Amino acid sequence: MSPVAVQEVPASEFDAVACNYEETLQRGLHLSGESAAYFAASRAAWTRKRLNRFNISKSLHLGIDFGCGTGNSIPHLQHTLGCRAVVGLDPSIQSLQVARASHPASTFQFYTLDAYRPRGDADLVFCNGVFHHIPPNERTRAMETITSLLRPGGVFAYWENNCWNPGTRFLMKRIPFDRDAVPISIPQSRRLLEQAKLQVICVDTCFYFPRVLKWLRVMEPYLCKIPLGAQYLCLAMKPR
């Protein structure tokens, strides 16, 4: 099978910010009162909760982080989502170098998108905030690539920024590498998943309240079907 074939945001853009990616991202997230690490851990915890709901095993063989960047989500795929081996894929060589240095465990491997050959054996593909960087005319091919990574019965956890949330739009304008990105709505994402022959089993939105209102976060599980959270999760399965 051929290497992963998808054109994302030019790798040079993320190569240029790889060494200070976390600091740049944090400046954008400052108004939320939370760190990037908080959001990474929370996404993984919510994903695990949904996997449990649909009786997805707590022990998975292979997890792939599609568009892993500097590896912010990598340890959560292992420790929270239960993947015994994790592969990070990204077009940015500099970002992958940072990821390798930050996560040297032998259970983690990192490849550029054009170097990894899909084998249709991933139990889980995880993706956060990647598709708004992919040009709209390339998104269908990217989703087909993700389908080729999954085994039959494998699950795709697709997280994106919710363009229906005004706070998200404002924060994206504060982050240099998000400023010119093209947001993708929940219906657009759902169509992409279905066109790639993936079965959507769950759509949730998360992150309704900033840290200053964290006492209200106990309500968030009851709000997840109202499409106004800062990010959304589409959980989809490759048919068996």
Q: What is the pLDDT of residues 108-131, one digit of tens each?
A: 999 998 899 889 999 999 999 999
Q: Is residue 220 part of a domain?
A: yes
Q: Is residue 4 part of a domain?
A: no
CA-nearest of 41, 61, 45, 31 to 172 is 31
Q: Is residue 112 part of a domain?
A: yes
Place of tokens 């060589």: 93
Q: Is residue 222 part of a domain?
A: yes
pLDDT tens track, the chain, 240 positions: 445 554 444 565 677 666 776 777 777 788 889 999 999 999 999 999 999 999 988 889 999 999 999 999 999 999 999 999 999 999 999 999 999 999 998 899 999 988 998 899 999 999 999 999 999 999 999 999 999 999 999 999 999 999 999 999 888 888 878 888 999 999 999 999 999 999 999 999 999 999 999 999 999 999 999 999 999 999 999 998
Look up the CATH number of the domain holding residue 51.
Answer: 3.40.50.150
CA-nearest of 155, 91, 84 to 126 is 155
* Range(s) of the domain holding residue 133: 11-237
CB 207 within 8 A of CB 231: yes
In the chain, how many domains are there?
1
Distance in angstroms (rounded) separating the CA atoms of residues 229 and 203: 12
